Amino acid sequence: MLEGKFASPVPRHVAIIMDGNGRWAQRQNKPRSAGHRAGVQSVRAVVRRSAELGVQALTLFAFSEENWQRPKTEVLGLLELFNRALRKEAAELHDNNVRLQFIGDLRRFKPDLQRLMHDVTDKTAVNTGLLLTIAVNYSGRWDFAQAARQLAHDAALGRIKPAAVDEAHLEHYMCLSGQIPPDLLIRTGGEKRLSNFLLWQIAYTELIFTDILWPDFREAHLDAAINDYASRERRFGQTSDQVAGAMHA
């Protein structure tokens, strides 16, 4: 590993599917809730390291729309942990110039948690460092649907002609609109699927799947993923010769 010195610039935007908390707990002969609590330490480590490396945006998949199907006790525990962690970490994030925002259908959460997310977003909006986005009650298909609904509404009001609708118009209404799409997506826990995460935004994202369970994921693992990313040639539909020519133009 290159210990933070990379073959090319670090990714501007890193997205992470944080998977493996439950299996980590099982291997430790602990309840699943212990895995979720341990995962908070990994969030701290990755946020800190991302800021150190100059990553501009970090998007973490914390709670999917499908996660409501889990046992009620686990869901309630996850939401309570999220509430406590957010209250505890918000001040430190603010002090470290991190801007925090949330994506997903937040209306399903209790009003006090909605207010907390809103207050933290407002408080950190003035910061100019790492943009930390937490995806909660989020799914890629929901993102498509809510964007299409807003676009259809504006078309019905005559704000846009249906014949003029293109990718840029739809993207304007999607979560992460206006942000750089993720350059790198990391999924921990050994599974090799996207689990309905950022389906629109990761069209040209480099994907890395690691067997490391999320509670064990630390700075060194992030560095290793970025080293892998740095070794890849991103062509965006072009040939290698075209990419090389553009780099030396």
Tell me how far apart the alpha carbons of residues 65 and 72 are, in angstroms, rounded to a whole number: 14
The count of other CB atoms within 10 Å of the CB of residue 217 is: 25
The whole-angstrom separation of Cα 157 and Cα 78 is: 41
**Pairwise CA distance, residues 102 & 125, whole Å:** 12
Q: Which residues are catalytic?
A: 19, 67
Q: Three-state DSSP class for 236?
A: coil
What type of residue sits at position 37? R
Question: Hey, what are 14's tokens?
Answer: 């890193």
Q: With contact defined as beta carbons under 8 Å apart, do 102 and 117 qualify?
A: yes
CA 7 – CA 106 distance, rounded (Å): 39
CA-nearest of 198, 196, 221, 199 to 211 is 221
Q: Could you give the 3-state DSSP secondary structure of residue 126? A: coil
Q: Which one, of 89, 78, 103, 92, lies nearest residue 182 by Cα?
A: 103
Residue 201, φ and ψ in degrees, nearest 5: -75, -20
